[in-house]
Structure 1
């Protein structure tokens, strides 16, 4: 597996220095969350758009209920704000379009907070930062991006991975799919020779399907909850506050370990400095020193 990096990797001393400095930055007490009336699509209920097959962020369990890292994080934040969440399942494009149209209050999935998307929706502070992976069948021989020149490479329509193919794999023939289920089905049947996914989703498929990670690159942006531009800014601020509270009390780390095996990225610690102290208490989650 080829592991090129867009950023210099941290030495052991640099990791410690980063964590200590960021811990100091995050030491101030956050303002108490205000749980009064929010400007919502439905009074007292957060209307949330999610996906049914975006492991490990948002999936549907055997009982037909939404679950996953992003869903559990949102449910916990809402409970702490004394709010209920009503989920509506759609595609990534449906989440973003529905927020712009005022149909939803928030998107609950692994949504990259890109500069382009920030023109039409608001974003919380990122709650996850990972990798972009190129998957092939297990017997595939490719291990570098140029190996896919002239090949059919799939990505979910409207995703940051679609942008990645345009930007980094210009010699490939891009094939767009409505969701990850359709994409992986075509990879397994030979309809495409590679699938580009977020690293956490790729790990989930590697664990259960005959596929491998051919190329891994650091992501350029974190995953965050998108919200309506004309929504209630207090709700965005309070959700962010509750996530920081979950970091402080260990809830975030418990959920992270439930769904992820990778260390917490240094980019995420910069965005959420409260993670620095938690990572010092959990050395297995320290940023990679490869």
Structure 2
């Protein structure tokens, strides 16, 4: 082969190798190294999918999260987590499941977190971690409009439903020991059974009650309410310690700058912000008090 041609080939090969080396050193690399955060790179948190939060949601947790007419998850926690994931330089995808199936799947590593309001009980903390508190609710027993029940003893021997693995189920097992407890897949399924006469009462979270009563005017009523023992939070895989720490930092920023309270008041316009939460979020207490001063 002509020496000049050979020299050109060798020179071209050297340039190509140099360009490839430069691209490897300066490029975005794997999915876990790319993102939209302020630093321009997403940290490798050990997520199910590098650079993406895989969040489990349920079909009946409105207004925290619920599917819209197209099946797309919407609600307060969707808005909140969309903001936080963006601030962390991560994407987020939502997978619909149930609390009963979602918690063990979270523990086994199929999800990174459950974007659902769950009471952070000591029993649950054995298998999952929790974000900082997001809500403090009440357990409400809803009954048919014609029912005379108004106390726990009135449900002795009665069939009372509660969502499987929910905080309402925990309440029912603890407080309705003389009742015949029925595990329901979702709140909606339990309400349907209540309307059909197959249940004497259904335990619901206070955030769901007003919507359900509006959907069935004159057919249901509240028998009694009881404050929950623990605040509500979102569950996270225990192995994701760095992810949880950074998530809580971003949640704190949104609480302190007023974003969290705005979201709460958007999705819970009829429920005052729970005063039990002030010990976790003193900045929100100041924001609520400031709003009261403006309206007084």
TM-score, structure 1 as length reference: 0.82
- Map of 2:223 onto structure 1: 214
2:175 aligned to which of 168, 174, 195: 168
Q: For 2:261 and 2:214, locate their aligned partners in 1 and report how far apart those are by CA, in whole Å.
A: 22
8 Å Cα contact 2:42/2:51 also seen in 1:
no
8 Å Cα contact 1:71/1:108 also seen in 2:
yes
Q: For 1:281 and 1:207, locate their aligned partners in 2 and report how far apart those are by CA, in whole Å.
A: 31
- Structure 1 segments of 4 or more deviating over 3 A? 32-35
- Map of 1:88 onto structure 2: 95
1:150 aligned to which of 153, 157, 167: 157
Gaps of 5+ in 1: 1-31, 285-290
For residues 37-94 of structure 1, the C-alpha deviation after alignment (integer angstroms, 9 at most, x for no partner) is: 3221101000011101122112100121011222221112112212111111000012
2:84 aligned to which of 71, 77, 89: 77
Gaps of 5+ in 2: 1-37
8 Å Cα contact 2:156/2:178 also seen in 1:
yes
For residues 139-190 of structure 1, the C-alpha deviation after alignment (integer angstroms, 9 at most, x for no partner) is: 3221111111111000011112112112111111101111112111101111
Higher helix share: 2
Larger radius of gyration: 2
1:256 aligned to which of 256, 264, 271: 264
Q: For 1:268 and 1:95, locate their aligned partners in 2 and report how far apart those are by CA, in whole Å.
A: 26
1:229 aligned to which of 214, 223, 238: 238
- Map of 1:4 onto structure 2: none
Secondary structure in 2 aligned to 1:104?
coil
- Map of 1:241 onto structure 2: 249
- Map of 1:46 onto structure 2: 53
Q: For 1:82 and 1:109, locate their aligned partners in 2 and report how far apart those are by CA, in whole Å.
A: 22
8 Å Cα contact 2:76/2:263 also seen in 1:
yes
Is residue 283 from structure 1 mapped to residue 287 from structure 2 by the alignment? Answer: no
- Map of 1:135 onto structure 2: 142
- Note the aligned Cα RMSD (angstroms): 1.8
Q: For 2:262 and 2:275, locate their aligned partners in 1 and report how far apart those are by CA, in whole Å.
A: 19
Secondary structure in 2 aligned to 1:229?
coil
1:265 aligned to which of 270, 274, 296: 274
